[in-house]
A and B are shown apart, each in its own frame.
Chain A
Amino acid sequence: MNSKKINVALVGNPNTGKTSIFNQLTGLTQKVGNYPGITVDKKQGSCKLLDGSSATITDLPGTYSINPTSLDESIVLETLLDTENSEYPDVVVVVAEVENIKRNLLLFTQVKDLKIPAILVVNMSDQMERKGISLDVEKLERILKTKIVLVSARKKEGIDAIKNAISEYKSYDTKPLFQISEKIDQAYFDDIQASLRGFSLYKSWLLITQKNHVSFISEASKHIIDKFKVDQEKLKKYQHKETIYRYQYINEVLKKTYSVDRTKGTDLRSKLDKVLTHKVFGYVFFASILLLMFQSVFDWASVPMDFIDEAFSNLSEWSKEALPDGMLFNLISEGIIPGIGGIVIFIPQIAILFLFVAILEETGYMSRVVFLMDKIMRRFGMSGKSVIPLISGTACAIPAIMATRNIGGWKDRLITILVTPFTTCSARLPVYAIIIALIIPETRVFGIFSLQGLVLMGLYVLGFGSAILSAYILNKVLKVDSKNFFIVEMPNYKLPSLKNIAFDVLEKTKAFVLGAGKIILAISIVLWFLASNGSSDFNNAEEIVSETSQSSKEDLEDEIAAFKLENSYIGMMGKTIEPVIEPLGYDWKIGIALISSFAAREVFVGTLSTIYSVGSDDEGTIKERMAAEINPITKEKRFNVPAGMSLLVFYAFAMQCMGTLAIVKRETKSWKWPLIQLFGMGALAYFAAFLTFVILKN
């Protein structure tokens, strides 16, 4: 028995059920972390083996080859080459799927050539009979010099066999399967072998053929590798030859061990594809899915959201009464609790959106959407793969921007990143909801559609339209060199696994709440501090107001509170920017809300509730107080149609989200793009809001 934990790496093509197997091996022990220096999710979990020892399982990103085409995929290469790393795998489990075993074996032969003990797991073995597939496992084991485990992740069969295979990792053959040198150019590869001592030949070859150096390589080795990199054409030619030889080898092996009876097997794929990629029905179906998705986000989510809203305002009330008076306790009941409530309230909407995206991906339908939309999106400088981030952007731009990573070309990806924040994210919703409720009457159009609902829909159209339009402009303006290569696997249709989807939604929602939660919490604390401290007038508010005012006792308290707000630090900030925002129809109080929502839009409602509410923060009261606000110059309501619409337009365009700016900086590796977004979208928001106000006023 060994006391050391065995390091196991799971690798495999996308759509092979690798994640299902990972979920079954690790269950609830899994955690998501980060690889140092990059924002790729690192999924790890531990697994108790049957002999009593335990293993750390790392689920590496899905890839078709060890040669990466994206940042996520490069993790596979780095992990499998970094022999000195403490997490270097003792054994690699290569997950293949029985129907696509030919392509899956390409990756397997690559892993095997790195001389790491490898186990081949063939998933979906329960489908073999139905699809008329037969596989001679013993013979294949002999030829590939490996341990093969047949698994059905869906039926939970074969998981124990994987565990057993892992515990025997020391007994596996680690000779390379395939001698690249013999077939391609012996002299050249001998030269590589002689120059880079201490590395296996295939490892050296991979190091030489990568565009960028791997992170762990020494300067001396880099120098040698660079010499081989000079003749790029030769490298490319030999890589092509290598791939051809690998497939020749695989085809020969499978001819002896694998057969498919084509007469069997129902052709679900072609039947579904006929409808789902049809030039009319394909789009009709996609539109219905989108409609269903938005319907559920706004309808189904409202029940838990109302519940959360109520729970937090009760909690805040309760804490105000239960906790003794004092600086720290005020911070808790007026700053922290409403702050956390402001983020928790989005959980239902975001979870539902993640749920939809997860189902679309698990079933294999997302690839069909990419296929349908690619040509259309390309007219706007994006790619079919941009559809996924744009849809996710309606939940939150942060995970959406991270989802742009599998867009091949840099220009397509950059444009998608830049325009995604225009889509109406769920943080804009509470802002829209309160302003629409203030300025749009509750009437019905044609007896069925609510006018308020139509305005909300109009704002979604505005968001999506401006994303598309700015992509079109960026496509003309941006001079970015990018090699663009597009390839999308069209996987078999599958029933989604509940467990996979549950894990996926849970993990993404958690990441969102923790990430955005930190920012919102910090902002609410800062805001609370700025609102409860101020100039000397602020500190002497009671005396000043009592001396000048003739009001009754109750009104007096309100007047003192209002005077305090005006002379607090945040009030002073609002007053400072008032001249700038006056042309848009706003006053200094709205200015405060604008300033605070530069951190995150949803802070707007919270800030207004702090500003307008004294004592109570029940939404009805905030709305009433906002409705009662009078513009001292025009003597009209502050939140009239022109000012309200101008505010809606401002929030539709402005880049008010620190979290998004931070993620854009990380993903584009420069401050240039987030700053362009901040100022570009800010300027657009300002002028559009100005025009809206001026036009509607007259």
Chain B
Amino acid sequence: MHSTLKKIGSKNKIELEHTVADLEIGEKGIIEELSFVEIPLPLMEMGCIPGKEVTLIQFSPLKDPLYIQVNGSHFAIRRETAEKIILAKRLCDEL
């Protein structure tokens, strides 16, 4: 839903750019990029840094905030913040 679809070379594959906000409960992803303009320092100081694996543990009942685990820390952030944490691209079969 929030993902940007981008066609790449291979015919039946698409590259899916996604963020922490796109994860399902229990799903993991690797943090790729953090914009220093948009990501507040305290978020990084909690352990959210590029190269680290993020696990989505739970949504709040209204799908916001998100309860995540990263780099050994457990914490909750709002969806608007989660959308700014870009994860490594993954290849999927075309839908």
Contact = CB atoms under 8 A, between A and B. Distances in A.
Interface of A: 64-65, 67, 69, 99-103, 106, 233, 236-237, 239-240, 243-244, 247, 269-270, 273, 277-279, 282-283, 367, 370-372, 374-376, 384, 485-491
Nearest to B74: A490
Nearest to A367: B76
A375 B39 CA distance: 21
A243 B41 contact: yes
B77 interface: yes
Given A244-B49, A277-B60, A485-B40, 5 more contacts: A67-B41, A277-B58, A375-B62, A490-B74, A490-B76
A103 B73 CA distance: 7
A491 B69 CA distance: 11
A372 B73 contact: no
Contacts of B75: 487-490
B74 A384 contact: no
B76 A244 contact: no
Q: Which 3 A-B pairs have the closest CB atoms?
A: A279-B61, A375-B62, A65-B45
A182 to B, nearest CB: 19
Contacts of B50: 244
Interface string B73-95: 11111100100000000000000
A243 B65 contact: no
Contacts of B60: 277, 371-372, 374-375
A282 B61 contact: yes
Contacts of B46: 64, 103, 487, 489
B77 A277 contact: no
8 contacts: A64-B46, A67-B42, A240-B41, A269-B74, A367-B76, A485-B40, A486-B78, A489-B74
B47 A102 contact: yes
A326 B75 CA distance: 65
A208 to B, nearest CB: 14
Contacts of A489: 46, 73-75
Contact of A375 (B45, B49, B64): B64
Interface centre among B43, B45, B57, B60 (most CB of A within 10 A): B45
A488 B60 CA distance: 13
B76 A243 contact: no
A102 B74 contact: no
B8 interface: no
Interface string B4-48: 000000000000000000000000000000101101111111110
Nearest to B34: A240
Contacts of A279: 61
A103 B49 contact: no
A247 B77 contact: no
A169 B73 CA distance: 31
Contact of A69 (B36, B42, B74, B78): B42
Contacts of B34: 240
A103 B47 contact: yes
Nearest to A241: B36
A244 B39 CA distance: 13
A492 to B, nearest CB: 8
A244 B36 contact: no
B64 to A, nearest CB: 5
A485 B76 CA distance: 11
Contacts of B76: 367, 370-371, 374, 486-488, 490
B61 A487 contact: no
Contacts of A372: 60-61
B74 to A, nearest CB: 4
A69 B44 CA distance: 13
Nearest to B62: A375
B71 A486 contact: no
Contacts of B62: 375-376
A529 B25 CA distance: 67
A485 B40 CA distance: 8
A247 B36 contact: no
Nearest to B72: A102
Contacts of A277: 58, 60, 67
Nearest to B79: A375
B71 A273 contact: no
B71 A485 contact: no
A236 B65 contact: no
A283 B61 contact: yes
Contact of A237 (B36, B49, B58, B65): B36
Contacts of A243: 41, 44-45, 49
Contacts of B63: 375
A240 B78 contact: no
Contact of B71 (A65, A69, A247, A367): A247
B54 to A, nearest CB: 14
Contacts of A371: 60, 65, 67, 76
A367 B36 CA distance: 27
B65 A240 contact: no
Contact of B67 (A486, A490, A491): A490
B57 A270 contact: yes
Given A487-B77, A490-B74, A239 B49 contact: no
Contacts of B57: 270, 273
B42 A103 contact: no
Nearest to A107: B45
A239 B45 CA distance: 10
Contact of A236 (B41, B42, B61, B77): B41
Contacts of B73: 100, 102-103, 489
A659 B58 CA distance: 41
A608 to B, nearest CB: 47
Contacts of B45: 64-65, 67, 106, 243
A384 B65 contact: yes
